[in-house]
Amino acid sequence: MSSNYLKRLFLDFMQMKEFAEHPLIMKSAKGVWYEDVAGKKYLDGLSGIFVVSAGHGNRRIIDAMKKQLDEITFAPPLHSTNLRALELAELLSKITPGDLHTVKLSSGGSEATETAMKLARQYHRQTGNPHKYKIISLYDGFHGTTMGALGASGTTKRRTAFEPFGSGYVHVFPPTCYRCPYGLTYPDCHILCARIVEDVIKKEGPSTVSALIVEPISNTGGIITPPDEYFKILREICDKYNVILIFDEIITGFGRTGEMFAAQTFKTTPDIICMGKGMASGYSPIGGIIFSDKIADAFYGRNEDQVQFNDGHTYAGNPLSCAAAIATINVIIDERLQYKARDRGLRIVEKLKELEYLGIIGDVRGKGLLIGVEFVKDKVTKAQFDERINFGIRVGKNALQKGLIIRFDPNWCAFAPPLIIENEEVDQMMQIFHESLKEEALAAA
């Protein structure tokens, strides 16, 4: 393998000089295991990157795609659709809650969140509220790397190089209970982080606010998991001010949080759900949105110029991707993987509790197979490790050396293995994590 090759391929959010010196090149994968070009095995504790929900090398999905390859692999979304796209739309409307029945497909997550925000704006425009354009979202949230999605994202590090964005993005603090931005404690806080959204809408002017976009559980913020009441309050506020509630379920969808969608886990139906990542388990790129009858109805009519949704992507509804998504969803349904995710997630939490003796586990949070652990130097004061140590990153890199892939950040790590993971594999994952954490805790002491 030529090293020039490594220099000439930019990876995501990656310092390429460092990577070129220590590259990780995957060759094959099966179940919850990767193998690199040197023959080293890695336990996939992150489903690739929250994607491979049904595991690697799933025969049912591969066979469905092979069959589709022989039938049709492209149908232009500008003037036609195809049988798989229709089948997928129907299936999605069956597994999502409430009156979410209408689907717009795309090729990935950023396209989905962009589409959702555009749909909200155009919906208001053609229902008599042309000035409703602002998008409210959360600090530390992430909705993708295209400019609109990044504008709504609240991850400072990923945003600053590309500012300024278009106008109309307003951010509020997320439900970070462990480190409440308002210095309050649950439940005495009365969920101020949700209620304050009403004040923000009033101050911005309700006639200018189009949508509120939130991840049910935020990855980039550190698996931020809101209290049960949070989304119910947001739902009420959005209804009161005619603001479209968008759930970005690109990570939390398709069984990840213990139900098919986090909307079901948190018992709140938004107006739009954005999907991607686990939708086709990584066998083919796909994303999309599903939205309410109320919104869909505003786009039916005779005058094309006024009512057609002015959005499109060349690969939307690609038959091969749709076939992969249908097969993935059927695997999740038939093997009851969302419930398996619940069980396995509880096992991870139990194993993390056993690591309390190290004295550096500040908080464990998440739902289903989306579990995060935050590290502290001092459990009483919640003081974090010195920034220069990059403690969580050291833990993650140590685990990688030992053959485990997890999500890592300076102050936390996260586990999100494929939903098919068995108990023994969870134990193996947690054993490697334990060893890595212990070594780094000793080194940092």
Ligand X SMILES: Cc1ncc(COP(=O)(O)O)c(C=O)c1O
Pick out residues in 144-163 that bind ligand X (CB under 6 A).
144
Query: By C-beta, is 258 or 276 nearer to ligand X?
Result: 276
Please tell me the count of residues contacting ligand X according to CB under 6 A: 14
Taking CB under 6 A as the rule, does residue 113 contact ligand X?
A: yes
Q: Choose one: 86-94, 243-251, 310-318, 417-425; the region binding ligand X (CB under 6 A).
A: 243-251
Instruction: Please name the residues in contact with 317: beta carbons below 8 A apart, sequence gap of 6 or more.
Output: 75, 77, 81, 82, 84, 85, 88, 105
Cβ proximity to ligand X: between 12 and 424 the closer is 12
142 or 261: CB nearest ligand X:
142
How far does the chain reach from its first CA to its final CA, in angstroms?
40
Of all residues in the shown chain, the one whose CB is closest to ligand X is 109
Distance separating alpha carbons of residues 275 and 107, to the nearest angstrom: 10
* 277: DSSP letter: G
Q: Does 283 bind ligand X (CB under 6 A)?
A: no
Nearest Cα residue to 61 out of 419, 421, 324, 329 = 324
Output 77 or 216, the one with its CB closest to ligand X. Answer: 216
Give whichever of 280 and 360 is closer to ligand X, judged by the CB atom: 280
- Which of these segments, 85-93, 108-116, 170-178, 345-353, binds ligand X (CB under 6 A)? 108-116
**Binding test (CB under 6 A) with ligand X, winner from 136, 244, 250, 360:** 250
**Interacting residue with ligand X among 44, 114, 140, 215 (CB under 6 A):** 215
The verdict on 110 binding ligand X (CB under 6 A) reads yes
Residue 24: count of CB within 10 angstroms of its CB: 14
Measuring CA to CA, which residue among 364, 379, 342 is closest to residue 413? 364
Considering the complex, state which of residue 42 and residue 142 has its C-beta at the smaller distance from ligand X: 142
Nearer to ligand X by C-beta: 251 or 352?
251
Q: Interface with ligand X includes 219 (CB under 6 A)?
A: yes
Cβ proximity of 245 and 234 under 8 Å: yes
Element (H, E) at 101: strand 100-106
Q: Which of 108, 148, 392, 396 binds ligand X (CB under 6 A)?
A: 108
Is 116 among the residues that bind ligand X (CB under 6 A)?
A: no
Stretch that binds ligand X, among 141-149, 261-269, 363-371, 422-430 (CB under 6 A): 141-149
The residue type of 367 is K
Pick between residue 391 and residue 415 the one whose CB is nearest to ligand X.
415
Q: CA 101 to CA 103: how far, in whole Å?
A: 7
Tokens standing for 311? 């959005």
In the bound complex, what is the minimum distance in angstroms from residue 297's beta carbon to ligand X?
27
Q: How does DSSP classify residue 416?
A: -
> Do residues 299 and 63 touch, judged by C-beta distance below 8 A?
no
Q: Which stretch binds ligand X (CB under 6 A): 139-147, 163-171, 261-269, 422-430?
A: 139-147
Among 56, 84, 143, 407, binds ligand X (CB under 6 A): 143
User: Rounded CA gap, 324 and 91, in Å?
Assistant: 13
Nearer to ligand X, 116 or 426 (CB): 116
Give whichever of 96 and 384 is closer to ligand X, judged by the CB atom. 96
Binding segment for ligand X (CB under 6 A), chosen from 89-97, 188-196, 245-253, 402-410, is: 245-253
Angle at 15 between CA 402 and CA 165, to 5 degrees: 125
Tell whether residue 323 is a contact of ligand X (CB under 6 A): no
> Should residue 142 be labelled a site residue for ligand X when binding is judged by CB under 6 A?
yes
Report the site for ligand X in 286-315 (rule: CB under 6 A): 287
> CB atoms < 10 A from the CB of 165, how many?
15
Q: Are 141 and 175 in contact (CB under 8 A)?
A: no
Among the listed residues 77, 109, 392, 396, the single contact to ligand X using CB under 6 A: 109
Question: Near ligand X by CB under 6 A, which window of 71-79, 244-252, 359-367, 384-392?
Answer: 244-252
Q: Are 163 and 129 in contact (CB under 8 A)?
A: no
- Shortest Å, Cβ 110 to ligand X: 3
DSSP labels, 11-57: PTT--HHHHHHS---EEEEEBTEEEETTS-EEEETTHHHHT-TT-BT
Rounded CA-CA distance 235/237 in Å is 6
3-class state of residue 376 by DSSP:
coil
Q: Residues 150, 212, 251, 286: which binds ligand X (CB under 6 A)?
A: 251
Question: What beta strand segments (E) does 231-344 contain?
Answer: 244-248, 272-275, 287-292
Residues in contact with ligand X by CB under 6 A are: 108-110, 113, 142-144, 215, 219, 248, 250-251, 276, 287
